[in-house]
Structures are given as structure tokens and as C-alpha cells.
Structure 1
Amino acid sequence: MADTHILTQIDAAERARLLHVDSYDVALDLTVGDTTFISRSRVRFSCNEPGANTFIEIAAEDIRSATLNGQPVDISAYTRQDGLALSGLAADNDLVVEAECRYSSSGQGLHRMTDRADGESYLYSQFEVADAQQMFACFDQPDLKAQFGLTVTMPEHWRAISNMPASGETITDGKRTVQFEQSPRMSTYITALCAGPYHEVTTEHDGFTFGLYCRQSMKQYLDPESVFEITRQGFDHFHDAFGVRYPLPKYDQVFAPEYNMGAMENFGCVTIAESSFLFRSQVTDFEREQLANVILHELAHMWFGDLVTMRWWDDLWLNESFAEWASHWANVEATRYTGAWTTFLSLRKNWGYRQDQLPTTHPVYTDMPDVEAVATNFDGITYAKGASILKQLVAYVGIDSFKTGLAAYFQKHQWGNATFDDLLGALEAASGRELREFADTWLATAGVSTLRPEVSVDADGNYTSVAVRQEVPSEHPTLRTHRIGVGLYNLVDGSLVRSERIELDVTGELTEIPELVGKPRPDVLLLNDDDLTYCKLRLDAESMATVVEHIAGFEDSLARALCWAAAWDMLRDGELPARDFMRLATSGLPAEADINLVSAVHRQVGTAISYADPGVAPQLREDLAATAKRVMLAAEPGGDMQRAWARAFASAARSDADLSLLRGWLDGDGIPEGLTVDTDLRWHLVVCLVGLGAVPESAIDAELERDNTADGERLSLIARAIVPTAEAKAAAWERITTEEGLPNFARRSLMSGFAHPDQVELLRPYVERYLEAVDGMWKRLGTEQAIEFISTAFPRLVVEPATLAATDAWLADESRSGAMRRGVLEGRDDIDRALRARARDAKAG
């Protein structure tokens, strides 16, 4: 499968028992060519059992030499998969390995890209989970921390950015050599190197140097003050909250091209996805808040993950969940994005709920037998469900006790490794509460509960009984204790005003609420008001009817978000017909004032239409297009809502008149006042129109000529894959599945554009082709890239029983590994859910 060593937890534990790593001194020569570089690693480490054997990871094209304590190491049996064997260790050891290593095009290891705008090359490292070995020889596991020294030789006009500041540099024969200060103790996966002619902007804050970097061809889009403002606010907030100051002298953030993820918490040298967060065009506050959240997420990792690091990857959930919780908390407390918990519910928790209902769900805390298993668990449970549980934990112990416990945890374990038990102990000491039962209930079991109101009223409209029923899936029948708010809302002059709120613990299958007996039934009874717990939510029939007509009447965006989430869950569970969800979207969403909620629901309507009876789906899409067009034209010119609804209109448009209008926008005709048809919106229009055959494929060439950049290339690949011809699909599939050396960003782009809801006839043959390709792609690609292919390329739009049958036949071969099967199982679940939703919608007709 992978072309690097697959470290097991057992081997890592044994190596950690045997070794203590003191330091790494790594020297890189980046001037030897465009495909490889020279890496020289000097590793000083001690061994508790002199004479023992071990191994070190190094994913090299060629090991030129290796010496251990001055003696040659036998390299004849070396392979990238096995690492370099080391025998006869001394009490104190000095290992030197010189190797030729290959630049990556996958986004893992030391990635190199060449900017088509100016021909310049840029490098950045991405080492999580275990890819530091692609750059230097190392014991590549999180609990063997060491000090790091780095020296880099590169072209003279380049600059290098790493974890620490540079301590000196020399220039000789057109080459620049930079030496960095030795770092404090850290794990291999958070070491970092970025190199190339990066544009630099710096500032000072509270004794620290902040750096911000991007490609030269992108510097006109950099907004340093906005990034620095959020960074300053985050630093001040976390310094106050965590009781330990940020421990490095500088903090750099690098916008990295061709990046696989959102960002990465390299200690003092954070990398952020350029294509997602370096905005080339006008964006709404939705995108700006997402960037703020990413900045704060990675900043929180400087303490939780970098200063104190998990011992092994089974605590990955805690690493990511903490940063997820802390970033939203900091956004609310320290920045202008005070509605961040609404966004958390609408985007992140919904991600967690979906993941937790798949057949591949797992407990938040999951054993990780090896590093390959880790890649399958960067999911909505690891991030969103875990963060939701931490949010509940904060409410349970109180924020002051939580901060006191955190400070004690950071002070005790700084520069070392710790586990969740260590954190729990610190929180128990600070709060005086026993937390083990809470942890076991929420972290060691899978599945999501559904909380459903059961009410009865008398002839006068007063409650005679109110109870909360907790429903759990049969596969994961854990009944948990939920602390929830219950809000009573009544219509007052068109607004839904909360008249009363109570809090209670929901336990077992049925929990009575005697406080409500005798009270008049409100227009809306809202369980989990203020979103205190992690659960799916239902409304009683009368409350749901009010919400459908008046959802915009809630003054609090979080209450509106809870109702949107309830409707979405009911749709996905076959309790709400797709046509009713779309009626809610076209009637309630136009009055929504929160851009984050609008953007979140816009992401859902495509799936909702695919859940509709195919006979009514075109009409639902036409209604959506008409609504989007109407709201766009009525919105404030140049505002967030105008732009968001314009994109929604372009996505939904199908009529000749609408497509003609969109073509006119590309030519500068008929553009609504205030709407900026800039680079990103132009590409969105091109992709939408090409996918429908409304403009010729030559429109892609023309747009790429206008935008001859790396991002233009990425977007052009999406457009070429979406062309509605058998020839275009075959060409894209051939590149996706067979092209050697295809950069991962290119494969991702082609997969992103390959499937279109109006192209089911073209996509149907690729059900079998996809299933036939999985085994080969699993063997050929790295773990992360193979998992991405299996998940992204699954033919989810071919919602037919035949797709289920073909998938079931593939899954019947149980010899395939669990990691390989996971994406196929999840795709199958999506098809099965869509078929059930369509059947439900057909009954509504």
C-alpha cells in the first residue's frame, strides 16, 4: 500500500521504552535538481539496553551512507517500507545518515510545486501522521521528542521558514545557506520547512514576531492586517486562558499551494491551504469566519498538540477536538465572530452527526493499531463530535475550573507527552467532580441519540404531559445523560419570542418534564435550546408547522440553526419529504440574515433535491433557481447575501433564459448592480455552464488564458471533468486512475468535477469502473491519497438499486482491508439513504 514504513503501536511503544532521543541536526541541499534533494541527518540518542537492535525511518530514493558511532551501517537490506535497521546499540549513540530523497507531488512529505505564473518553485512540508521520514532520517513517532537543528542550502533568491528563527546565513556561488536556531523538544510530525521565493510580511506583538508568507504571484491578494488581527486576538485570549505563554520566539503562517487539508499546526510555522483561504476574489463573512476559525484552531494547537503532545495516535481525537472547541470559543470570546457557535452547529456538528450514523462510525476514543489506521480517522467524529463533548464537559465543570485544569495540565506536561487521563485528572482536581463515568459514556461508545418531544394537551391548549424520548440506534444502544435546555417560543408580531427556558438532565428512554404541565402550549417547543448537548433533534408536529412558516422569526441565530439542523436530520432519516425541506428552504431561507446559515443550507439543497422523487426534482430545482434569482436581485448591492444567492442561482439555473443570463455575465452584460463578477465567480459560472453544455469546452481554454495561474489550472481541471460528454469523462477517468506522477491537487480537482447531477447516464458505467479501480489505487497511491480517491470518486449520484447490488458484490470479498473498505461502505450508505428518502418523498406526492 504505502511507500513508507507503517509503524505499529506495539513497535512504537517498544521503541519508546528502549530509546531516548536527544537531538537531530539535519542539513538539506535543495540545489541538486527539481526532483530530488540531499538530506544529511545526525541523530543523537541513548539506549536503555546496550546491545539492543532497533530501526529508524527514512523514505529515501537512495541511502548514500550511514554510520552508527563511527562504524558503517549495513544498508544492503534497506527498503522504504522497512526503514534502516540499527544493531548493537550503545548506551549513547551518534547516527549519521546521508540520503537522496524525492520531492513530493502528493502534498505529503516535502512538497514541491512550480508556479505557472512565473516559473518559480515553492516547497512546504506536511509530515502528519508519519512523513517526516520523507525529508530526514528520524524515529517518526510522537512520543520520541527531540531538539532539532536545521541547515538549508537553496537558490540565492529563496528564503526558508522553519520552526525557529534563522541564526545566520551565508551566500556562496549563487547559493544561500541558512542555519536555524536549535528548537526546544518537539515531535517529528510538527517539524517544518517552507522554502522558495516567498513574499514576506512581518509584525510584532507582545514580544513575538509574527510572519505571514505566500507565493510572489499571490501577494496582491494577501490581507496581512486581517490575519494578524485574528492572530493577535487569539494570542491574547489563549495567553489569558491557558496560564502558559506561547513558548517560541516567533509565529509564522504560510499560505501553501496545492495543499491537501485546511491547515497544519507545525510548531511556530503553520501552513494554511492557499486555495481555500487566500482569497483572490470577493468573499462573504462566511469565508472570513472560516479563515478566522482555521487561524485560531492552529494557534490552539501550539499548546495542545505541540507543547504537550499525545503519546500515541489513539489520542488524536483529543488533539483535534480540543483545537476545534478552542477555536470556536476564542472566536466568540475574542473576535467579532460572536456567532461562531451557530456556525459550529450548522457545519461542524452536522458533519459529526453524518459521520456518526455511517456503518463505519466509531467511538471518539479509538485504538490506532498503526499509522495507516490514523488516516481513516481524520473525520467528523474526531473533530466535531469530540469538540461537542468537550463543550459539554466545559459546561459540566464550569469554564473557570476548566481553565484552571488546563493551566495545571500545560505546566506539568510541557515539552512532553500526555494522555486524556492526564487531562481528566487535572480537570477533576480543578473542579472537584468525578469525570470518568462521563468520559466512558461519551467517548467509549459510538452513535448519536435522537431526542424527541412527546406532548399531550387538554381542550384549552394546556400541556397535560411533556416528556423527552431518547432514541438510540440498535447497533449502538447507549442511553446517555444529556443536559439540555428546553425553550418555549411564541409568535409575537411575526417574531418567535422565547417566553421561558428550563434546563434538565435527560436520562434513560423517557424523561418527564413536570414543570411544563398546566402551561399553555407554545407555538414552538424547542429541545436542546442553546445547543448544549450532542444529539439529533425533533420537533412536535405543531412546532414544526410553525417553524416551516416562521423560521426567520427566531431572533437568535442559534435557535434558527437548531431548527434547520432538525429539518436536515428529518430529511436524511426519511421523516421529512424532500419537497417539504425544499419548501422550507425557498420560503424561510430568503429572510435569513445570518450569512453562515444561508451558506450552510445552500450546501444542503443539492443533496435535498437528489433525495426527491426524480419526477419532481426538476421542479424543485426550478423553484430554487427562481427563489435564488429573486433574493439576489432584492439583496443589498455588493453585499454578502447578493453574492451568496448569485452563486446559488448559478448552481440551480437550468432554463434557457437563466442560462442566457449567466452567459451574459461572463460577457459583462446584465450583471445585477453591485455584483462583482470576479475571477472566482467567473470560474463558478464557467463550471456551471460547461456542465450543462450551455457553453462549449473552448470556454475553459478562454478562462484559463484569462487566469493563467496555479488556481486557474486547478479550476480548469474541475471544468474539464464536468464536460457532459462520454469522451470527456473517459479522459478524466484515465488521468485519475492511471496517470503516473499526477499531482494530488490535480486528481482531487478532476474527481471534484467528474460527477454532475444532470449526467447520470454518463456516470452509470463508472459504477463498475470505480469498483474495479479501487484495489489498484489502494496499492498504487499513498494512504491519504488512496482514501481520498475511494471516498471522493464513489458514484454517489447514481442513486439506483443496481449501484447497491454492485457495491454489495464488491464488499462480499472480505479479504480487502478495513481501511480500503471504509469509503466504499460509506458510499453504499449514501446510496441506500438516498433511495429511502426518494421513496418517502414519492409517498408525499
Structure 2
Amino acid sequence: MNLLHTAVVIVISVVLAACNSTPREPISTRDASAYISQQSAAQRSARVSDVHYDLDFTLTGGTTFSATTNVNFNLSDTNKALTLDLNQATISHFSINGKKVYPNYNNRYITLNPGLLVSGRNTVEVQFTRAHSTNGEGLHRFVDPVDDKVYLYSHFEPAAAQQMFAVFDQPDLKATYTLSVTAPKEWTVISAMRESSTTEQGDTRQWRFPQSPKLSPYNFSMHAGPYHQWTDNSGKYPLRLFARQSVVDQVTPQDWFTYTQQGLTFFDEYFGIPYPFKKYDQVLVPDFLYGAMENAAAITFSESRFLFNTEMTATQKQRLAGVIMHEMAHQWFGNLVTMKWWNGLWLNESFASFMGTLATAEATEFTHAWRSFYANNKQSAYHLDSQASTHPIEVPVATTQNAFDNIDAITYSKGASALKQLNHLLGEKAFQTGVRNYLTQYSYQNAELNDFITSLGKAANKNLTTWSQQWLYEAGVNSIQASFSCENGRITQFSLNQTAASDALPTLREQHVQIGLFTKGRNRLHHNISMPVTYSGSTTNVTSLVGLYCPDLVYPNYQDWGFVKVNLDPVSFNTAKQSLRLVKDPLLRSMLWQSLWDSVEDGSLSLNDYIGTVLVNLPGEIDYTIVGQVLSSLSKTRIYLDKMAPINQRYAQKAIRAIEQMSLRKVMINSQNRDVQRRWFANYIAFARSQDALNNIDALLNNKASIKGLTLDQDLRWMMISHLNRYDHPSAMYWLRKERELDSSDSGQKSALAAEVSRPDALKKRQWLTRIQQDTNLPFSKQRTIMDNLYPSEQKSLSAVTAEQRLTTLAQLDQDKGPVFMRSYAKDLIPTDCSYGNVSALQHLQSNSEQLSDGTQRALKEAIQQEQKCLLITSKMSR
């Protein structure tokens, strides 16, 4: 909309307001942004109720779509103006209660003239056209590079429904929806309800959908395109799965349907409420911002996470099952009962993470799901909760712009861990009863944190006020350590000592844990006893252990009931270092491995010693999950070694070479175990630095070498080609050009881009950086690919070339680009190089960062702390 037209609209709206004889409050208290504050949203929901949307879309496959929104709602008063959200649209017709008027529209929301509204039922009609989104929000449009077919999908969380239709875009204004869509006749349209009719109209088809149940705007969805469809009607609820036609061969529908049926059976029983929608659709979509989204009855999943060019590995299958369960839990907790405002998003995600893992462990073949949660999700939460940028689980959210500022591992995994601990503290049956009562009481409504906590407390007959304050409103992770003394082989004193995260985060929490005691035998570590204990405060004496055999190892969070970091006492620390191979319990072994890595990051164990422990013990490790956990720590080790160069260059080269060779040996001897072999092969590629290793990768690509049992599918080929380009191998560009011609798919284009961007060419890197900073036409999915691959850890000197530019332009980019862009940019492109000089530069920027958004300030804090941690680890290394 041009400025002259906007001015005319404002003048006419003011005149219309003046025509009403009753004095009015100001037209709107909102600012001119698309983001509504919590206060404004609360004021709006206090006046608006019983909302219904009648939506009509015309989709052509072009870059724009046209639509009509009819909004019907009750209004309690006409004392002041009301706003209706609609982002960046061109309005062709607008009426209030049947009266056609010029819209008072600022390209972000329409201000409804109170003189045309009534106390009671109102109808607003908006006809408009809008460009499709290309950043993964709103109604996203994607053109398949393989066959030029167009696919659309919607994504609205937290407040992007306004990019597709006129809406009161806030979670506590739940509404019912009817939908009509005219689209090319070869397309399928998917939404919260199954279509009631389709009518061919020449080259198009009109789809009509019946009225939906009450949903928050972010839970509603519409997806359209020539999607391929699989169906499964063998269970209680009809299932459908959709994917682009060009990727059909990469989908194994039976896996999807199996896990989905298992989950629906589990959740029906656990919640005691049947699945609240009439069908269950799942849609694989490209360019997705996140892993998946729980749209009511029409869940979207990221292709990049769940499409593979060969049979899925065990890890990939488990990830698929876990995400299906997570999004399914949301259908009850999130869609059926929804938070009132975005400060409740953590509970939505934490509960789904907790229930998703529980369902995966109890309803699928992945009975070890909680071990995987410990090794991956929980460690991310521990890491983040130890950062200077940590935050409480429950935090205020000022506006919808801030809704995702704190959506991270604390939101998902610390919150889930807190719920797991609460499950142990209250008892599983009381916890389940509380959840059932909550879902029953607030079905199709909005609720707040206190509603949930009160329901659990009543079911367990326990006051949870103190628990809530300690766990949900105070940041930081505590540590515990066993303290014991022995005489004549028997324990004479035993206590658990709890410490706070820091002086700035002094909270000590109550937790219910198990203490495990172990003694060394010739061939194994013997488990003597497990003792449940509820501890609190700085010291808790455990007199029940006095008199038992003196242990060689104490683990005070045995079986991982609590969310707490474990500092091993000196006796247990030595046992862990020397006797990992004797630990038969895989969860305990995993936790001991983690304790050793934690000791590296807190400076109590040198990186050299840790690498030595890995080289001695990891080759004998047979547990797939633990192998993945330790290889993940080795990945971090490699980054530290790269960042430390040239201070520890000689040691770094030797250590990386040793890990490279260990990995290749494990690839060769695991030819009968595809999953384990691929895991080690991926690690081999990551550590391949020697000329021999790079030449071997080239020979494998060229079929001049082979490894028994290993099939080089498209995913592995791109991984290898990208690595050769990172190290500028003589054949790298040949393979890049050849593979780009062979694989024209969307994932192939992104893989080729990643390989090209990672090449060690200073001039090209500066050009790529300029492009993502200035090119607004580059699809965001490709911008993210560039950011992720521009400065690999070993290219420290190349990163330094543009480090100052990235710092000086950070504030302007933060202002211009918005939160979706900056979440990726700040994570990948704030410079880190493990030097005191860079710490000083980052701290200087931090001291002048008032103009930075909260999310970018947080990323800056984390970069500083990461630099300081690297310097600490460097100082502890023996050269």
C-alpha cells in the first residue's frame, strides 16, 4: 500500500469516528508493529469472545494468493477501537457489519472503527491478496526444483496466522473455522478437518471443510499442493501421510503408521480422553524452520530431518518415533487445552517432550529412549543452564516478537526433566491423575501454569508452591556430590552436598533421587544397593547407608531421576577413569562418560586426559547410544582443538590423527552392523585431515576403494564431497560439479551450496557474507545453509578476515532482519576464536548492546562464555 493511499485511509477513518456523537478513547493503543503486547492482547480478549472464521482461499500456484476472511465475534463494548491482525496484504474489499468502508490499515493490522461495531455479534469481511511467504512462516510457497511442482504449507507459531488471513492472532482467542479452497484440480488440500466435499470447476477444484473444534489460531493450518498420499485405516483413527512427489522413494510409510498407531493407543489410555480430532494427518514439508509443528490433526514435519536416501538407521527411526510422539502429545496438551499467553509455551513444549519420551520408551521398540534423552536432550539443557545467558523455565513474554526469545533446551529439556522429577516426587499414579483432571477440566479452553500445578498438587495431596518457585522461577542447575568416610571397610558417615549454580543463582532445590553404591570386582563393577533419597539444602545426611560396605564408586543420581549435575567424589572419579569397561549398566556407563566430559569443561580434567581415556575405552564400547554420545563429545573436542591452534597445533594434529585412525578401524570391523558402521564412518569423515584420509575419501567416491558392508548413498556422498571441499582437496571441485548435476533435488542443491560455501577461499567467503547480509531475494532456507557452513572451526584465520565486519554490522542487521533471521545469524556468525583479544572485542560490543534485541544479546553472552571456556580448557592442557 503506497503512502498517499494510507494517508487517505487514515483521514477517512478519523472522519467516520468523528461522525459518532459518543466520545471515544484513542483509536488504538498498539504501536505500528505486527507484534501485539501481552497487555494489548489481554485487553482484546477481555472484550472479544465466541469467535468464528469463515475462510475462502483461491490458490493458483503463483507467487500470490487471494482470500476472503469473514470474522464473526461477540464484542462486550464499543468504548474503544479494536484491532484485527493482517500482515502485508493488499485489501480490495472491507466491511463491518455489512457496511463497506475504507480499512484503517497499516500493513500489519486493521483498526476497526468502534462507531461501526455493536455490543454483541459483529461480522467483519476482508477480501485481499498477499504474496506467499518464503521464510517458513505464514503460507509458505516452495517450487520443487526436480519437477517444478508447487507446494504450499502453513506455519503460524507464534503469531504468523496473520500472514495468511485476518485474525485475532493470540492463543487465548480460540475460534472455530470453516474453510473453502479453490486450487488446481491435481492438488490436495489438507486442514484440521477432513474435507466434506470437492467440486471440479474446469482446471480447478473447490474443497470445502466443515467447522472445526475450537482452536487457537496457531494450531489451525492449511497445506496444499500435488502431494502424494498414503493411508492407513487399520486402527481406531484414520491416518494419512503426505510428501512431495519427487521424494516419495525416500519415505517409508509403514514406519510412520506403526509409530503413530502405537502412540495413539498409548495416549488414549494415559490421558483417559480419546484423541480429540477426527483424523490424523502428517505432512512432510520442505524449508521448514523447525523439526515439526503440532497443527491440530495436520502435523507438519521437516523434510531435512526425516527424509533419507537409504534405509533409516536405528537412531533415525528412534528420532522419528520420538518426534511423532512429541507432536501427538500436543494434540491433547496444547491443542485441546492451550496456554493463555506465550509465557506458557515452555509448559506446552516441556510436557510434550516428557510425554513423547515416555511414550517412545513404553509403546515402541525404543525402550532405551530415556537413555537417549539423558545423553542428548538433557545434556543440552545442562549446558545452557550453566551459561551466563540462562533463564528460568517460566519467563515473562512482553510481546509476540519475544515469544521465541527463550525457546531452547531449557524450555524443552530442562522443563521435561523437571516434570520427570515431579513424576518421581509425586508418584506416577498421582501425576497421571493430575494430568487427566487438568485436561478434562480445561478441554477446548485456555489455561495457565497455576491451573496445571494445582491439578497435580490436588491429585497428590501436596502443596507445590515451593517446588514451583524453586524449579520454574529460578534459573541455574545445581550440583551434588557424595561425601562419605569409611572404617574397616564400612561406611561411617554419608551425606549429599548440594551447591548452587553461582552466587548470582543461589537457589538450592529439593529433589527425589536414587543413590547407587558400587564396588570393583575382577571383571565388573558390582552394584551393591540403590537408596531412594529426598534431599534439600546444602547438606543432607543419609544415615540409612551407614554400616554398608565401603564403595569404590558412588553415583548420587542413579537411574537419572533428578535434574542435577553430578560431581564425582575423588574415589569415584578415579574409579570412573580407570574402570569404565567394568561398568555393565549402560545408563550408569553413559553417566560416567558424561561426568568425565563435564570435568573437561569445568577445568578439572585436561582435554589430553579425556582424549586418552576415549582412545583406550571407546573402541571396546558396544552400546550404540553411548558410542553416539562419546562421538558427540569428540566433535566438541575437535572444535576446541581447531580454535586453540596454533598454541596446541602439534598435539591437535596428533590427537585428530589418532581419532581418525581409530574411527577407520571401527568402520572396517563393523561390516556386519550397518548402523554402528555408519556412525563410525561419519566420525571418520569429520576427523579426516591427513592426506591419506582425504585421498581415501576420494578413492571411495571414485570406486577405486571400498569398505565391506558400507553403501555410499546420496547422503554419505554429499557428506564426503563437502568434506573434501572444506579442505580443498584437488578433486573437490570435480566431485562438487558432478554431484550437483546428478542430484538436482532440493536437498542436493542445499548440499552443493554447503560444500561450495565451506571452501577455504577468503574472497568468496566475503562475497557470501555480503550476500546473506544484503540479498533479500535469496530464500531463507539457503541463507541458513550459508550461515551454517561459512566458517568451519578449522578455518580460524579465514573467519578472522571478516570478524570485525560481522561485529560492526550486528546491530544494524538485528534491527533490519528480524528474529527468524537473527536466531541463525547470531548463532553461526558472531566470531569465536578462543583468544583473549576476541573476548575483549565481544565484551566491548556487549557493553554497547542496548540497541540489540534480547535474543541477539543472549547469543552474544553465550559467545563470550564459550570463548572463556575454551581459554580455560587451553590453560589446563599439557603440551
Normalising TM by the smaller chain, what interval? over 0.9
- 2:661 corresponds to 1:626: yes
1:807 and 2:842 are equivalent in the alignment: yes
Q: What runs of 5+ residues in structure 1 fail to find an aligned partner? A: none
Matched-pair contact (CA < 8 Å) for 1:105–1:744 = yes
Task: State the 1:322 CA deviation.
Answer: 0.2
Letter in structure 2 aligned against 1:63: I
* Pairing of 1:69-84 with structure 2 (within 5 A): 69-75=97-103, 77-84=104-111
The match for 2:144 is 115
Measure the CA separation in 2 of the matches of 1:176 and 1:82: 31
Matches within 5 A, 1:137-286: 137-286=166-315
Identity value in percent? 31
What code does the residue aligned with 1:658 have?
A
**Counterpart secondary structure, 1:147:** strand
Looking at both structures, which has the greater relative contact order when contacts are Cα pairs under 8 Å and sequence separation is at least 6?
1
Q: In the alignment, what sits opposite 1:470?
A: 498
Matched to 2:839, the amino acid is L
Q: What is the rounded CA distance, in whole Å, between the counterparts of 2:187 and 2:748 in structure 1? A: 24
Query: Which residue pairs with 1:795 in the alignment?
Result: 831
Does the CA contact (< 8 Å) of 2:721 and 2:732 recur in 1?
no
Partner of 2:133: 104
Matches of 2:493 and 2:593 in 1, distance apart? 26
TM-score (norm 1): 0.96
Matched residue, 1:67:
95
User: Cα gap change, 1:779/1:184 in structure 2, threshold over 3 Å: closer, same or farther?
Assistant: same
Is the Cα–Cα contact under 8 Å of residues 143 and 311 in structure 1 kept in the other structure?
yes
- Structure 2 counterpart of 1:733, which letter? L
Partner of 2:512: 483
Mean alpha-carbon deviation: is it higher for 186-195 or for 400-409?
400-409
Specify the alignment match of 1:316 in structure 2. 345
> Offset of 1:72 from its aligned partner?
2.7
Q: Deviations over 1:80-111 (max 9, x none)?
A: 34544443321210000111111111111111
1:62 and 1:477 map into 2 onto residues whose CA distance is: 53
Q: Give the gaps of 5 or more residues in structure 2.
A: 1-30
What SS class does the counterpart of residue 52 from structure 2 fall into? strand
Q: Find out whether 1:414 has 2:443 as its counterpart.
A: yes
Q: Structure 1 stretch 77-86 or stretch 672-681: which is displaced more?
A: 77-86
The corresponding residue for 2:416 is 387
Q: CA deviation at 1:637?
A: 2.8
CA distance in 1, matches of 2:101, 2:234: 48
Q: Distance in 1 between matches of 2:353 and 2:675?
A: 26
Asked if 1:494 corresponds to 2:494, the answer is: no
Cα distance in 2 between the residues matched to 1:410 and 1:187: 16
The residue number in structure 1 matching 2:551 is 522
Alignment deviations for residues 360-385 of structure 1 (CA, whole Å, 9 cap, x no partner): 21111111111111111110111001
Q: Choose 633-642 or 63-72, whichever is displaced more.
A: 633-642
**Partners of 1:452 and 1:510 in 2: how far apart?**
10
Q: Deviations over 1:223-263 (max 9, x none)?
A: 11111111111000000000111121110000111111000
How many angstroms apart in 2 are the aligned matches of 1:656 and 1:332?
Answer: 44
- Structure 1 contact 56–86 (Cα < 8 Å) conserved: no
CA distance in 2, matches of 1:21, 1:279: 45
Match of 1:766, SS state, is: helix
Q: Indicate how the Cα distance of structure 1 residues 165 and 573 shifts in structure 2: closer, same or farther if over 3 A, else same.
A: same
> Alignment partner of 1:124: what SS?
strand
701, 707, 719: which one aligns with 1:684 = 719
Query: Are the aligned partners of 2:671 and 2:708 in contact in 1 as well (CA < 8 Å)?
Result: no
Match of 2:708 in 1: 673
Match of 2:64 among 21, 28, 36: 36
Distance 1:247 1:341 in 2: 27
**CA distance in 2 between partners of 1:756 and 1:73 (Å):** 56
> What do the CA deviations read for 1:170-201 (whole angstroms, capped 9, x no partner)?
12131121111210110000111111110100
In 1, the alpha carbon distance for the partners of 2:110 and 2:838 equals 42
Amino acid at match of 2:341: W
SS of residue paired to 1:764 = helix
Contact 1:116–1:708, Cα closer than 8 Å, also in 2: yes
Amino acid at match of 1:41: T
Residue 84 (structure 2) aligns with: 56
- 1:685-709 CA deviation, whole Å, 9 max, x = no partner? 1111111112333422211112110
Q: Does 1:725 align with 2:761?
A: yes
Which residue of structure 2 aligns with residue 512 of structure 1?
Answer: 541
In structure 1, the residue matched to 2:750 is 714
> What code does the residue aligned with 1:620 have?
A
Residue 583 of structure 1 deviates from its aligned partner by: 2.1
User: For residues 350-499 of structure 1, what are the structure 2 equivalents within 5 Å?
Assistant: 350-458=379-487, 460-472=488-500, 473-499=502-528
Which residue type is aligned with residue 739 of structure 2? E
RMSD (Å), alpha carbons? 1.8
Secondary structure at the residue paired with 2:848?
coil
> Secondary structure of 1:52's partner?
coil
Q: How does 1:593-632 map to 2 (within 5 A)?
A: 593-612=622-641, 614=645, 615=648, 616-632=651-667
Deviation at 1:670, TM superposition (A): 2.2
Q: Specify the alignment match of 1:661 in structure 2.
A: 696
1:51-105 CA-to-partner distances (Å, cap 9, x unmatched) read 4321010013311121110123432x42234544443321210000111111111
Tell me by how many angstroms 1:119 deviates. 0.8
**Which residue number in structure 1 is paired with residue 803 of structure 2?**
767
What secondary structure sits across from 1:166 in the alignment?
A: coil
What displacement does 1:404 show? 1.5
Letter in 2 for 1:701: R
Alpha-carbon separation, structure 2, partners of 1:337 and 1:196: 34
Q: Distance in 2 between matches of 1:510 and 1:232?
A: 47
In 2, Cα distance between the equivalents of 1:584 and 1:160?
Answer: 55
- Residue aligning to 1:563: 592
Residue from 114, 117, 127 that aligns with 1:87: 114
Any conservation in 2 of the 1:22–1:146 contact (CA below 8 Å)?
Answer: yes
Query: Partner of 2:14 in structure 1?
Result: none
**Alignment partners' CA distance in 2, 1:350 and 1:410:** 30
Corresponding residue SS for 1:208: coil
Could you tell me how far apart the structure 2 residues matched to 1:267 and 1:555 are? 44
Distance 1:258 1:308 in 2: 29
Supply the distance in 1 between the matched residues of 2:202 and 2:50 (Cα, whole angstroms): 36
Q: Deviations over 1:762-799 (max 9, x none)?
A: 11122212212322322332322222211222223x12
Partner SS state of residue 110, structure 1: strand
Question: Aligned partners of 2:319, 2:688: CA distance in 1, in Å?
Answer: 27
Q: Is the 8 A contact 1:527 1:537 kept in 2?
A: yes
Q: Is the 8 A contact 1:163 1:183 kept in 2?
A: yes
Tell me how far apart the structure 2 counterparts of residues 138 and 813 of structure 1 sit (CA, whole Å): 38
Contact residue 24 and residue 41 of structure 1 kept, 8 A: yes
Match of 2:863 among 810, 819, 827: 827
Deviation at 1:819, TM superposition (A): 3.0
Counterparts of 2:367 and 2:534, CA distance in 1 = 27
Give the CA deviation at 1:518: 4.2
**1:87 partner amino acid:** P
Kept in 2, the 8 Å contact 1:638–1:676? The answer is no
> How far apart are the structure 2 equivalents of 1:214 and 1:673?
33
- Can you list the C-alpha shifts for 1:339-395, whole angstroms capped at 9, x where unaligned? 011111111111111111222211111111111111111101110010001001111
Q: What's the offset of the Cα at 1:143? A: 0.6
**Alpha-carbon distance in 2 for matches of 1:685, 1:288:** 23
- Do 1:697 and 1:723's aligned partners in 2 also have CA atoms closer than 8 Å? no
Amino acid at match of 2:397: M
What SS does the corresponding residue of 1:28 show, helix, strand or coil? strand
8 Å CA contact 1:611–1:835 kept in 2: the answer is no
Deviation at 1:631, TM superposition (A): 1.4
Q: Deviations over 1:515-561 (max 9, x none)?
A: 33444332321120010110111112332233233324333222122
Indicate the residue corresponding to 2:610 in structure 1: 581
Distance 1:381 1:248, change over 3 A: same
